[in-house]
Amino acid sequence: MLSYGITDIQTKPSLIKQMDMGKIIDKRSRITLGYFISSKYDRLITPIIKQIEREKKIEKLKRLKAHQDLEFAELGVDDGL
């Protein structure tokens, strides 16, 4: 994947039309700002992104449920003593 500097894109906006995929970086701060993916790949990328987001949400819900189960178990023990 090619890397593109943010200043390069700002000075030459037509560069985006030529890109298929690219990593947008800030060369001065040496940080990655994000990634650019052309709209022609949208059909392929969108289902994958949605699946990843769904899996992350499920994992968060499972952790939350486990945490709540532990809290309720502790409350039950405390009430009995």
pTM greater than 0.95: no
Q: Which two tokens stand for residue 19?
A: 């890109």
pLDDT at residue 32, as a whole number: 92
Task: Sketch the domain layout of the chain as residue ranges.
Answer: 2-37, 41-80
pLDDT in tens, 10-63: 899 888 888 888 899 998 888 999 988 888 888 888 899 899 999 999 999 988
